[in-house]
Every structure is written in structure tokens, then in C-alpha cells.
Amino acid sequence: MHKRLIYLAIALLAFSASITVSAAIKSDAKEVTIKGEVIDQPCYEGKNGARGEAHKACALSCAKRGNQLAIVDDKNNVYSITGDYTANKNEKLIAFVAETVEAKGVVTEKDGKKFIALSAIKKAESH
């Protein structure tokens, strides 16, 4: 019985979190495209902006463990990646770690932090 209550509490928390995220995305929210590098957010924030080719092996290792990934643009805005692309320990994002990408999605902001619910991502074309 005790286990059932724990499972019920976890389910209710997950449900309320999904409702909160849905409420944060307004029905008139527009999809935008941002260009930047896919980073391992904890390393970027904890190791003085760790990114780029020199940090790629570490970032890949962290991404495969399910660490929060984000996109940092040329103005150093950090967008935490949310949505289906983060499923299965970032499975759909592994190929983009430490790469410059063009990402489409709905951007939201909460407590001064930016989030992007990705709908599409591709490596940016170099000119």
C-alpha cells in the first residue's frame, strides 16, 4: 500500500509539471529559429563556459548520461532544451553536441532562464 501511494505521488507530480509547462506555452506562442552551439549545460555553467571542440568528448559523455543540454547563441544566451529531443538520455541530440546548429522551437522564459521546446534541429551550414 505504501508503494502505491509513492507511485501515485510521483504520477501526480509528473502530471502537474506537464500542466505547468503547457500553461507556460501560450497558444499564441510562435516558433522561432535560433543559431548556436549545443552544449552540456552543467559544464558550461560550472566550468567557466566550457564548450567547443576542446570540450566535446566530456560533453558527449555527459549528454549520453542524460545531462541537461542547451544551445548557447553568439550573444551567450543559453536556451535549455526541452521536449521530445531530450528523451532517452538525449538520444536525438547526441549528433549535435558541440556543433553549431539551427534549432526551431517555442522559446519560453521562467525565473530569468530561457527554454526552447525543439520541433526541429539541424547542423548549421558553414559559409
Read off the C-alpha cell for 52: 567547443
Q: How far apart are CA 7 and CA 90, in angstroms?
A: 25
Q: What pLDDT was estimated at residue 67?
A: 93
DSSP string, 56-123: HHHHHHHHHTTPPEEEEETT--EEEEESGGGHHHHTTTGGGBTSEEEEEEEEEEETTEEEEEEEEEEE
pLDDT tens track, the chain, 127 positions: 667 767 655 765 665 555 555 545 455 578 999 999 999 998 888 877 778 888 889 889 989 999 999 999 999 999 999 999 999 999 999 999 999 999 999 999 999 999 999 999 999 987 5
The fold for domain 28-123 equals: OB fold (Dihydrolipoamide Acetyltransferase, E2P) (2.40.50)
Q: How far apart are CA 6 and CA 57, in angstroms?
A: 38
